Structure formats: C-alpha cells, structure tokens
Amino acid sequence: MDRRSLLKAGAFGAAGLAASQWVAGCTMPSAPAVFPTPTDPVFDCGVLSGVHDATSAVLWTRVAPAATGGPVDVAWEVATDPTFSTVVSRGTGTASSATDGTVKVLAEGLSAGSTYYYRFTVDGRSSRTGRTKTPPTPGNEGGRVRLAVASCQNYPSGYYPAWRGIANEDVDAVVHLGDYIYESGGYVPLTDVRRDPVGPATDLAGYRAKYRLYRSDPDIVEAHARHAFLPIWDDHEFVNDYDRVTLVEDPERAAAAYRAWFEYQPVWPVDGTQTYRRVRWGSLVDLSLLDTRQYRDVHPNGGKLSLSLTTEEPAKEVTVEGRTILGEAQRRWLLDGLGAAQNDGVAWKLVGNQVMVSPIRILDLDEPVLRGANPGLTKHAGLYLNTDSWDGYQWERDRLTQFLFDEGVQQTAFLTGDIHSFWQSDVVRDYDEDFSPVVAQEFVCGSISSRAADFLGALADGVATAAQGLRPGFRYCDLARRGYGLVDCTADGAVVQFRHTDALYPLAPMVDGSRFDWASGGLPAMTPG
C-alpha cells in the first residue's frame, strides 16, 4: 500500500499541524535529476544470487550492451573461494534485448550449507565477485540460522543506508517482503530526497527502467553482491493495492509487471506467475514465502487505508465466509507446509508475509453486552484502520490461527512488511477471547526508505503508544523510524533485533532498536531500544 499518509484517520491521524511544522523545520537534501552513472558500464546492475535449495543457487546479472545490441554469451562460474582457485560449477547463459540484457542461471551440484563465490564474464571482462550461501540439510546447520528481513524501498523517499547496514551483516540470506520498486514516480517537494526520472511505470519498458534505477544505488548493489536473497512481491511491483480483479481489468500491464519482476529478481520460476515457495535450513528453520496479492478477493472499500466499520456495508464483507487473501491452493499449501514442519521437528516456522496479520481494531464492538443486545452482530465487529491487511480477510485469518492451535504448530512467526513501521505482537487463536491462547508471533520489520509517520514528529510516539493499547494490542510499535529486522534462530531460542537508520541522509549510521529474546517454548521478552 501507499503509506505516505499512514495512519491519517481517526485517532491515528489528527496531526496535520504537526506535519506542517515538521516540514517547515527540516532542511532536505538536494534531489539529483538523472540516473547515477553506473560504476560498471557492462554489468551495470551488479550481481545477485537467490536461495533456491540445498544444492542449487540462482545467479543473476545484467549485461548493458546486450539490451540494445545482439545476443551475448555470458560465462559464469562458482567457486569455493573468492580467488576462484577451486571452481565447482560453470556454464554459459545468454543476455539479449528480449530480456533487457538480464541473464539468470541455476547453478546446480553445490554442497548444502556452504558459502560460494560467483562471477560472470563477457568477452574476457569479468563482473565483480558475488557471494552466496546454500541452506543446510538436517545435521549441518552449524547451530544457527540468521536472516535479514527488509521491505519497502521507495527510491525518491529516502536513501539506502539500511542496505549498507544489511551488506555488513553476517546473515545466511536476506528475505525481501516486497515493494522492491514503486510503480509511481517523480519527485514530491519537501518529502522526497531524490528524483525518480522514470516516472510512473505502466508498461514493460517502464517497469524494467524502475529496476535499473533502484539497482543504480551503490548500497543495494553491495548488499546483493554479499548475500543471497529471497524476494517476494507486494503491490507496488505492479500497482498499489491490487487484487485478482485488477489482473483481469488490466492484463497487459499485469503481464508487463510480472515479466519485469521475473527478469530482474533472482527467483527461478515455479509455475507461471507463482511466487509462493518454501525453503528449509535443516531442522532449525522452515520459511514459507507468501503471495497475498494476486489471489486475493477484491477489497471491500477500494483497498485504501481508511476506517472501516465492519457492522455496515461495504466493510461488513470482510467477515464473509470463504473470503480469501491467499486463494484456496496457496492456503492449503501453507497449512500443509506448517503441519509438515511441525511433524518433522523443525524448530522455527517462519512465514514471509506482506501485510499485517495482527488486527488494528480502533474500536472493539464484539463485546458480550453488545452481542447480547444484538445476537446477529458480525464476528470480530469493530472499527478497523486497514482492510488491505488480513483485517480485510477475517474468515481466512481465523482458519489459519485455528489450524495452528488445533495442530499444535509451535514457534511460528510471521515476518511482515508493507506498512513502513516496526510492530511486534502475539497472534492469538481468537482475539475476542480475553484468554485466548497465543499461536504465533508477528514481527513487522520496518521499511528500507519508504515514509511512514515520521512526518508527525514527536506526535508519532504518542500515536504508537495508543496503538499498543488496542485490543488485543501490541507489545511494540514504532511509526517513525526506518530500517530492517534481523532474525537469529538456534535450537534454544530466537532473537529478533530491529535496526534503525535515518533514510533522509545517505551516510546515516545504523542504530540498534528494540530486541526480542524468544526462548524456545516461551514468549518474546522485549528489551527497548
């Protein structure tokens, strides 16, 4: 969703005066008007790798001359050392104008749980060296799995010091939860810090140009080169707040957006436009990556961030039985996978998820007194802020939480993006029962650069405090800062560390935010940051 006006309704948004005062008191960095000059005119978008399975890795680069000239043969090789003295896999791919100069290959025959180095070569000229890791099989996890979690990196809204921070982390992979690009574009005075010369993307050329622009930033290029990625898409890779009906209404634009995503992301195709998939790190971590966009039912109120009273139409639709954000096939795949991970003894079940699972219900109307007066009251009745999230698909959320409870799936965490802020909460079986059992945790890991409620200044802290007091409430909420999350899993427990930065300045340092220590079999304990 477009979160520049995040939390601007009701008690979460009465702050126009504060915003105007904040803008008036800020000195914004200048905004360059053109694409930065690539440091490598041949491999102009750097190199990327994607986690595929225990013995394979996806390798990616772009050969700029091939985008406008004829097809180019691109050699690639994978080695166990950065000097390439021991090459274990090699091959040749083709870059051409048909794929905008991009080339993507699947390097197979690798060893599980290993670090590798890779590079591409064209006409004797080599790309920079990239580093990647394969996930381990049970028994060779090395005692821990460490993931960085990122999302939402609107190019004009901020610089990428968070990517520089991720580049310097010691992680096994980077999970990107979507909004890698923003289909909108241009420059908004007083809020944007740099220009998007591409403008709005509506066709294949526009979407491709977006990826090239975002990959022109040296910090994201560095992060990609140093770590293997697991990207999924949200809505801005296509168009804000889309659903399955949007695909029917604008099929040509959808096809262009999906094609560009698959061309530019280190993801090996599964089946058509399917992006949901699963990766395991031995017996420590099972990660399910969801797609909560292309299969979802239509938004009840156009998908905009607004107050929705679920006792009235059209918002009442969010309670309808069978209403889905995942689609039946993906829901079955998710539940089967979570159950299998529990049965296989995997310690931590992680779910990469675009939009918030935990409810943001500003007014609770599902109270015993009210239900006694009106037995036909809709379940979970209330005033909700954002029905683009799982709040708009309440039947399916209930199915999910009930499954986790019934099947005894333990130590499940939803890793969430989209809303440009940091949150943490228990996920309970039924949030209208005061003592409903906790079935999972949710960690909303902020944004790389996209603006949230930082324009509210000091008032953002007060709004966050109010959010924590909602029912069922949140353990933590930070609406002002940007950054990413780190998830560190061992057999004994997991630690989630939020890291913050000031994306208005390209050289801003990273600062540790709140930390959550989650002992195996317990609940997270927060250390404020």
DSSP 318-359: GG-TT--SS-HHHHHHHHHHHHHHHHTT-SEEEEEESS--S-
User: Are 275 and 238 a contacting pair, CB within 8 Å?
Assistant: no
Q: What is the mean pLDDT of residues 201-220?
A: 97
User: Are 177 and 203 a contacting pair, CB within 8 Å?
Assistant: no
Q: What is the mean pLDDT of residues 500-509?
A: 96
The token pair at 411 is 């130590």
Q: For the chain, what is the mean pLDDT?
A: 90
- Reference 4, options 243, 308, 305; nearest CA is 305
Instruction: Judge residue 457's burial from the number of C-beta atoms within 10 Å of its C-beta, 0-12 exposed, 13-18 middle, 19 or more buried.
Output: middle
Q: What is the mean pLDDT of residues 136-144?
A: 88
DSSP 22: H
- Kindly tell me if the per-residue pLDDT of 30 is higher than 80: no
Band of pLDDT at residue 3, cut at 50, 70 and 90:
very low
ω into 472 cis (within 30 of 0): yes
pLDDT single digits (tens) 239-276: 999 999 999 999 999 999 999 999 999 999 999 999 99
The CATH class given to the 10-30+141-527 domain equals alpha beta
- Kindly tell me if the per-residue pLDDT of 15 is higher than 60: no
Q: Worst-scoring range by mean pLDDT, 72-86, 166-180, 359-373, 503-517?
A: 359-373
- Kindly tell me if the per-residue pLDDT of 510 is higher than 90: yes
Q: What is the mean pLDDT of residues 354-377?
A: 88
pLDDT for res 457: 74
User: Are 57 and 49 a contacting pair, CB within 8 Å?
Assistant: yes
pLDDT for res 461: 83
How far does CA 215 lie from the centroid of its chain?
17
- Kindly tell me if the per-residue pLDDT of 277 is higher than 70: yes
- Reference 288, options 324, 325, 333; nearest CA is 333
- Kindly tell me if the per-residue pLDDT of 20 is higher than 70: no
Q: For residue 463, how many other CB atoms are within 10 A of its CB?
A: 20
pLDDT for res 488: 98
List Cα–Cα distances, 417 to 11, 59, 197, 442, in angstroms: 23, 25, 26, 11
Strands 348-353 and 382-384 come out as: unpaired
Q: Worst-scoring range by mean pLDDT, 22-31, 120-129, 266-275?
A: 22-31
Q: Quick check: helix, strand or coil at residue 301?
A: coil
Q: pTM (2 decimals)?
A: 0.92
Q: Worst-scoring range by mean pLDDT, 34-38, 225-229, 314-318, 322-326?
A: 34-38
Q: Who has greater pLDDT, 395 or 33? A: 395
For residue 422, report the phi and psi dihedrals to the nearest 5 degrees: -105, 130
- Domain extent listing, the chain: 10-30+141-527
- The residue count of the chain comes to 529
- Reference 388, options 144, 121, 89, 179; nearest CA is 179
Q: For residue 509, how many other CB atoms are within 10 A of its CB?
A: 11
User: Are 528 and 183 a contacting pair, CB within 8 Å?
Assistant: no
- Kindly tell me if the per-residue pLDDT of 187 is higher than 60: yes
- Kindly tell me if the per-residue pLDDT of 96 is higher than 60: yes
